[in-house]
Structures are given as structure tokens and as C-alpha cells.
Structure 1
Amino acid sequence: MKPLFRLLTELSSRKTISRLTGAFAKSKASKALIPRFAKTYGIRVEDAEKHISEYASLNEFFTRRLKSGLRPVDTAQSTVVSPVDALITGMGRIESGQILNVKGQDYTIEELLNRSPRMVSYEHGFYLVLYLSPTDYHRIHSPVTGDILEKEHVPGKVYPVNDFGLRHMPRVLSRNERLITYMQHESGEVAVVKVAAMNVSSIQYVDPLPNHLERGDELAYFEFGSTVVLLLETNTFECRSDLAVGSKVRMGEALGKLRPKA
């Protein structure tokens, strides 16, 4: 059955289908689906910034902000915080430019960063793969305090980035459409790689997007579920010892500490 699932996924990974799905999700007709969607995925509607009846479309509800104070941002000095609510599906040291064994598949920094000259800074760094399910809050925040150095949009497919997609579709993280943000922080750089997924109509930056962001400030948002890959430069990050693949994190929660670049 797996080859059949892969074939069906290949056929449904075209941007046209995602655009159609996205167009419906943004339409007024989709508003009627919000209560069922929230119930199906166990979304805490009481956490939303507005009452569920105030959202004009499914997309508007999906990209909702939360009530103030629900995602406190860790304020300890030099902390790197989670940019999203997510499940950690991969993490570890980058070995000679290789991200190893994300659900049984290996990736290269060269592919993931679309052969950017900046890739040399991450060849022996640290990575975290953060998967957002439909249940999760889908706004993306800055993991550090710093300045935006560069932004890149990488066109691509929209394969699913859930467990099936990561295990059975070839290198989805580096084949899917991506929006990459490089930021300068006190110890070097961080790359925030936002990966599109099936039925994601787009990844949007907040508007206006300031050049300087404090830790926890809004950076972007997904229109339907997807993944963020966080890359930390070589010798600049020490991850929390209690985090592991399968850990659930919330936006603003400490992932680890920056350390001076060697």
C-alpha cells in the first residue's frame, strides 16, 4: 500500500491543489466549518484572541493570535526560545553539513538552504525540526533577539510533513517550498527555515516586518500546518538536556542557550 500512498501524495503535491484549498479556506463559505474544525482537532477556542464567531473564514481562524499572556517568552539572558508550538521530530548536531536520521532520512544543509553561501556557517551546528499539527497555534515568532540579515523564498512542492511524509517521501524538507530567514544575534547567526506542506496555501511574513526583532516577536505565520527547521551556527548553541525527539514545546519556551562563537 505504501507505493500507492506515495503515488497519490505525488499527484496531490501540486501547488494548484494547495491554491484551490487555500482559496476556499479564505472564503466566507468556509466560516461554517470553523466549529467542526476546532472540535475535530481539539483546539482550545477559549485561547483565541477573538470569539470563534468573529472569524470570517477558516483561514482567519487558523492563523489566529492568542490572548495576551498565554505564551510567556523566557527572559533568561542568551536564551533561544521555540518560535512555534510544535512537536520535535528531529534534533541534534549537524555533522559535516549533514542532518542525520530525521524519521530515517538524511538531509544536507546545502539542499535545505538552497545552496546559499551562508551554509558554511552551519556545517557543524545544531538543528531542530519543529512540526506543527492542525491543532497547534500557527504563528511563528523570533527565536532570538537580533536583526534580519537576509530572506529567501525557495519554490518547491507541498508534500505532507507529517510522520508519513517524513518517513516515506524522499527528502520533503528540502524539496518543499520554503521561506528562509537569516538573523544575526549576539553570538552569530540563526536560520529559521519555514517549510510549506500539503494544503498550505502560503507562508506569510507579518506586515510590517521590522528589521530588528526581540525574542518572541512575531515573524511570520503558516496558512495550515507545517514545519520549522531551526539551524544554529557551529559552536554557538547548547540545547536543553531534557529535550528529545518526541518532546512537545510551546512558543516562547527555552530550547537552550547561546554561547560565544568560538
Structure 2
Amino acid sequence: MMKSITEYYSDPGFTVFKVPKWRAKCYKFLSVDVWGNVPSPLQRRLSSWYSSFYDKSFSKRIIKHYVKLNYSDKDYLEKFKPPKGKTSFESFQDFFIREFKELPDYDSPYVWPCEGLLCEEKKVGDLNFVKVKSDVRSVSTVFGLTEDDIPKEYSFTNVFLHNKNYHRIHAPIDGTITRLQHIPGDLVVLRPWIYKENPSLPAFRNERYNIDITDNNNKVWHISIVGGPAVGTIELAQGIELGQSVQRLQELSLFYLGSTCCMAAPLSPRYHGPNTFVEMGTPY
């Protein structure tokens, strides 16, 4: 496994919570069968209302305590800058969508698009079908495609972004955007440890943006940016349009609270497996 690069990340570890099976079933019931049956528009309104508190100026007082609690490096925040050209973090949301002062860059043509826990990694052909609201869906459903649209030898990965993680998604390769798609949906809980048999279940039913990037070898990399509870917005970066060329590490989107990023790629990860931490910009 590749070791984390501490030049950019002082606290790259991620605890995989050992949730007892009975408790996981309870959490799943509350997420899928209770909250999941609330009409999607109402889920979004409640999530937007909740997330609005983090846009208030008083919420910036949380930042100092949050950093102290979650990162052992007292200078962690010095690696980042406020978003959108601001000179200071004016709210907790500003901290949540922080930008790197300098993007990590490694000598690899293929990089991870985000930071977080790699909670699932399998060949597309080895993934089971998932039942969602009485519909049986293949992994291609995550990306808004039909079953045979993604080759079975492709590798499916799902990275869960904890609240403490960096919440911007970047291009994993050089290429051209050949498809953009928004799929409305639910906002069930993303925590993978409460879905024992299928940690990617929320990606099959939640609201998401799908982006296809065709690389210089004419291979398509499918990326799905999945929202969760309290996600007020998934925002595409400026210039992310159909037919637009993108460079490796170019920003694709950001989340306002909570997220998961799925990818179906023609290559398998070389240094990471399930339940390991991946860092944006490190070799895929």
C-alpha cells in the first residue's frame, strides 16, 4: 500500500468504525426505510435548511475547535485558503469547501480525484445487483447507464468523504468531458459501515452528478459525485461543460457538506484496497 504523503496531509488516517451488526441494521432502517421514504424534495428542503446554519457568520467560531479536535497538526489550516477569493474564512461552510494553496502533484498520469476512505473496490463484473425501492439495479445505474454500457473488466471504486476530509473533486486524468448528467434522487445516509453487505447502496439511489472523461487512449472514465443528508448543493466547477478538455487535477466539483465519489475506470488502483485512505492527487 502507498504511504500517505505528509507534505500535504498531516492526518491522513481514517477510522473504520466497528459497528455491531444489530446496530448497523437499525441505522440502515432509519436511513433507508424511514428517512429514505420521506419525499425527495422534502429531503432536499430539510437538508438545505440544516446546511444553511453553516453559512452563518457565527459558525466560523466552530472552525478553530473543529481543527483542534480533528487534526493533530496545529498548522493544518495553513495548507489551505478560503474559497472564492475570500481573504478569510467567513463561515464554517467556507472551511468545509476550503481550497489548497498548492495542489499536491505527483508524477503519475492517473491520480485519485478526491480524499477519503476507499470503502469498496471491485471489478464491475463482480459486483452484485442491488434492490432499490423494489427495482433491481446494476452498478451502471450509479452512473446513469444501462448494464452493458460499462465493460465488466472496469474497476469500480467508492470513496467516502468524511466531514473532516477535503471536499473538492478533481479530474483523475487528462481528457475530454464526453457526458454530463444530473440525476435527482434521495439523500440517505452515506456512512458505509452501516451498509454491511453493500457499502455503496446510497450511490444507487441518491442525487448525483455523473461526469464521463474520455482519455487520450479513447478510454472512458466514469465519475459519479453523490450527495447525502445535509448536502445543500453539489456545485460543478467553472468551465466543466460537455466537450471541454480537462487536465489532470483540474477541479470538477465541490460539495457543501457530506459526499461520496464513485468511479468506474479502465484500470484498477495500484496501491490501495478497500478500507484504506486515499489522498487527492496521489497515484491511482
Alignment of 1:15-26 (within 5 A): 15-26=44-55
1:208 aligns with 2:256: no
1:109 aligns with 2:139: yes
1:191 aligns with 2:191: no
- Paired with 2:167 and 2:215, the residues of 1 have a C-alpha distance of 24
1:45 aligns with 2:67: no
Q: 1:225 aligns with which of 254, 258, 274?
A: 258
Q: 2:192 aligns with which of 149, 163, 166?
A: 163
TM-score, reference length from structure 2:
0.75
5+ unaligned residues in a row in structure 2: which ranges?
1-21, 37-42, 131-135
Give, in angstroms, the shift of residue 172 of structure 1: 1.4
- Correspondence for 1:92: 122
- Paired with 2:51 and 2:253, the residues of 1 have a C-alpha distance of 17
Cα–Cα, structure 1 residues 107 and 40, in superposed 2: closer, same or farther, change >3 Å? farther
- Paired with 2:138 and 2:71, the residues of 1 have a C-alpha distance of 36
Per the alignment, in what secondary structure is the counterpart of residue 34 of structure 1?
helix
Give, in angstroms, the shift of residue 247 of structure 1: 1.8
Is the contact between residue 144 and residue 215 of structure 1 (CA under 8 Å) also seen in structure 2? yes
TM-score, reference length from structure 1:
0.81
Number of residues of Structure 1 aligned to a counterpart in Structure 2 = 241
1:120 aligns with 2:149: yes
Alignment of 1:125-164 (within 5 A): 125-164=154-193
| Identity among equivalent pairs (%) | 20
5+ unaligned residues in a row in structure 1: which ranges?
256-262
Is the contact between residue 28 and residue 195 of structure 2 (CA under 8 Å) also seen in structure 1? no
- Root-mean-square deviation (CA, aligned residues, Å) is 2.9
Give, in angstroms, the shift of residue 6 of structure 1: 3.6
Per the alignment, in what secondary structure is the counterpart of residue 37 of structure 1?
helix
- Paired with 1:16 and 1:168, the residues of 2 have a C-alpha distance of 30
Cα–Cα, structure 1 residues 120 and 168, in superposed 2: closer, same or farther, change >3 Å? closer
Cα–Cα, structure 1 residues 252 and 125, in superposed 2: closer, same or farther, change >3 Å? same
Could you list the per-position Cα deviations for residues 174-201 of structure 1 after superposition, in whole angstroms to 9, with x for gaps in the alignment?
A: 0111110011102310111011112121
Cα–Cα, structure 1 residues 40 and 147, in superposed 2: closer, same or farther, change >3 Å? same
Cα–Cα, structure 1 residues 185 and 204, in superposed 2: closer, same or farther, change >3 Å? same
